[in-house]
Amino acid sequence: MTASSAPLAMLSSAAAATAPDLPAFALQLDGLSKTYAPRGRFGAVTALDRIDLKVPRGAMFGLLGPNGAGKSTMINILAGLVIKTGGTARIWTHDIDEEPRQSRAAIGVVPQELNIDPFFTPFELLELQAGMYGVPKRERRTMEILDAVGLADKSRAYARTLSGGMRRRLMVAKAMVHSPPILVLDEPTAGVDVELRQTLWAYIRELNRGGTTILLTTHYLEEAQELCDRIAIIDHGHLVAHDTTEALLRRLDAKEIILSLGADPEPLPARLAGLGFERAGPARLRLRYQPSCTQLGPLLAAVGEAGYDIVDVSTEETSLQDIFLQLTGSGAEERAVTGGR
C-alpha cells in the first residue's frame, strides 16, 4: 500500500459508514427510460428502454456498451443532469424524484472531460466543491482528501500547472468531497498513458476495498475484465447482459489451443484437418474447440500419431471482448479496440 492509500481507505470507509442504514443495493433502476423528443427532421430517439438494473453495495461494477448505447444518458439521469421519461431510480436509499438532494449527495461523478478551472488551486477547487454540496467548513476534509490522492504538496499550485495524471486524480478528489458511498467513473482512463492508468486504478481499488461502490464505464474491455466483479452491457438502450464477470465469460463455450511442433506440417495431413486443426504459421497448429464437449487427449494423441512432436502448448481463453462483440454486433469491434466513445 502506498503512503497515500492508507488515508484513502479511511476516507472510503468513512463514506460508506456515514449512511444510517446500509442497503443491499447501491443503485436500483426499475424500468428506467429516456426518450428524446423529435427535433427538426429527426424523430424521437429512445436512449434507454425500460432498464432494470441493481448494483450491489460495495461492488466494482462495469457498465459497457458501444457508442450511443445509453451509458452517458444513464449516468446523467443519476447525476440529475437529465430528466428521465419513465421508470424509477434509487441511489443508495433515495428515490431521485422524491429525494433529489439526498440522492445526489449519495453519488460522486468523475466525468471523462477535465472540467477544472485552471486559475484555481486544488485546495480552492475542493473547498468550492464542498461548499456547493453544503458541507459545513468544520466538516470539510480538503487536505485529507488531497493527501489521499497524492496531491497534498500541490494544494496551493494553480491547476493549470498540474500534469495530466494529477488533474485526473484531482477530478477523483472533487467527487469525494461530500463522502459519497457511490463513485461513478465515466471513461476515467481514456487517452491516458499506461503508468497513469495503473496509478489511478490503485487509488480506485483502495476506495472499493474501503466500502465505496464503484460504477465504471470504459471501452478498454481488458480493463473491465480485470477490475470488475459484475458487468452490465447495454446496446441501443437495451440491457443485453448483466451478470458476474466470471459467469459472462462462461457464456461463450469456446477456447483456442496453439501447438508448437518440431516440424512444419506442410501440407497439413487430411486426418488432422478433419479433426479441426489448421496451420497457424511455420511449425504451428491451431485448434478451436468447445471445452464442454471436447476431450483434448485423443486430439493431441492424433498429432503424435501423424508423426509430429509437440514442443509447446498455449491456450487462449474467452475474453470479455468476445462476449461484447457477440452481444452488440461486429460494428462494436473498432470502438472497443480504439477506445472511442
pLDDT interval class at 253 (50, 70, 90): low
**Are residues 275 and 241 located together in one domain of the fold?**
no
**Residue 258 lies inside a defined structural domain of this protein:** yes
Query: Where do the DSSP E strands lie in the chain?
Result: 25-36, 45-56, 60-64, 86-91, 94-95, 107-110, 182-186, 213-217, 230-235, 238-244, 255-261, 277-281, 284-289, 310-316
**Residue 46 lies inside a defined structural domain of this protein:** yes
> Which CATH number covers residue 298?
3.30.70
Above 90 in pLDDT, residue 62? Answer: yes
The pLDDT assigned to 336 comes to: 39
What contacts 127, CB < 8 A, 6 or more positions away? Answer: 140, 142
Q: What is the pLDDT of residues 200-248, one digit of tens each?
A: 788 888 889 989 999 998 877 788 888 999 999 999 899 988 999 888 8
Residues 32-38: what's their mean pLDDT? 93
**Are residues 155 and 187 located together in one domain of the fold?**
yes
DSSP H helices in 79-163? 100-105, 122-132, 142-148
- Considering 212, 230, 249, which residue would you say is the last residue of a domain? 249
Residues 165-192: what's their mean pLDDT? 86
DSSP letter (8 states) at residue 37: P
Above 60 in pLDDT, residue 335? Answer: no
Above 50 in pLDDT, residue 332? Answer: no
Do 165 and 192 contact (CB within 8 A), yes or no?
Answer: yes
**Residue 337 lies inside a defined structural domain of this protein:** no
Above 80 in pLDDT, residue 326? Answer: no
**Residue 29 lies inside a defined structural domain of this protein:** yes
The fraction of the chain above a pLDDT of 70, given in percent, is 87
Residues 29-49: what's their mean pLDDT? 90
The one-letter code for the residue type at 26 is A
Residues 153-172: what's their mean pLDDT? 89
Domain of residue 286, residue span: 253-316
The fraction of the chain above a pLDDT of 90, given in percent, is 49
**Are residues 235 and 269 located together in one domain of the fold?**
no
Residue 133 CA to residue 156 CA, distance in Å, equals: 22
Residues 178-199: what's their mean pLDDT? 82
pLDDT interval class at 319 (50, 70, 90): low
Residue 110 CA to residue 169 CA, distance in Å, equals: 10
**Are residues 147 and 280 located together in one domain of the fold?**
no
Q: Kindly report the backbone phi and psi dihedral angles of residue 220, in degrees, each rounded to the nearest multiple of 5, phi listed first.
A: -85, 95
Other beta carbons within 10 angstroms of residue 13's beta carbon come to 15
Other beta carbons within 10 angstroms of residue 149's beta carbon come to 25
**Are residues 134 and 25 located together in one domain of the fold?**
yes
**Are residues 154 and 288 located together in one domain of the fold?**
no
What contacts 251, CB < 8 A, 6 or more positions away? Answer: 241, 318, 323, 326
**Are residues 77 and 205 located together in one domain of the fold?**
yes
Residue 5 CA to residue 268 CA, distance in Å, equals: 56
**Residue 42 lies inside a defined structural domain of this protein:** yes
**Are residues 172 and 230 located together in one domain of the fold?**
yes
> Which CATH number covers residue 18?
3.40.50.300
- Considering 203, 224, 249, which residue would you say is the last residue of a domain? 249
Terminus-to-terminus CA distance in the chain, angstroms? 33
Q: What is the pLDDT of residues 281-294, one digit of tens each?
A: 899 999 988 777 78
**Are residues 282 and 241 located together in one domain of the fold?**
no
- Considering 249, 274, 308, which residue would you say is the last residue of a domain? 249
**Are residues 180 and 108 located together in one domain of the fold?**
yes
Give the chain's largest Cα–Cα span: 79
**Are residues 155 and 229 located together in one domain of the fold?**
yes
**Rounded to the nearest 10 degrees, what angle do helices 164-175 and 122-132 cross at?**
20
pLDDT interval class at 196 (50, 70, 90): confident
Q: How many domains does the chain have?
A: 2
Residue 178 CA to residue 135 CA, distance in Å, equals: 7
pLDDT interval class at 8 (50, 70, 90): low
**Are residues 192 and 261 located together in one domain of the fold?**
no
Do 322 and 200 contact (CB within 8 A), yes or no?
Answer: no
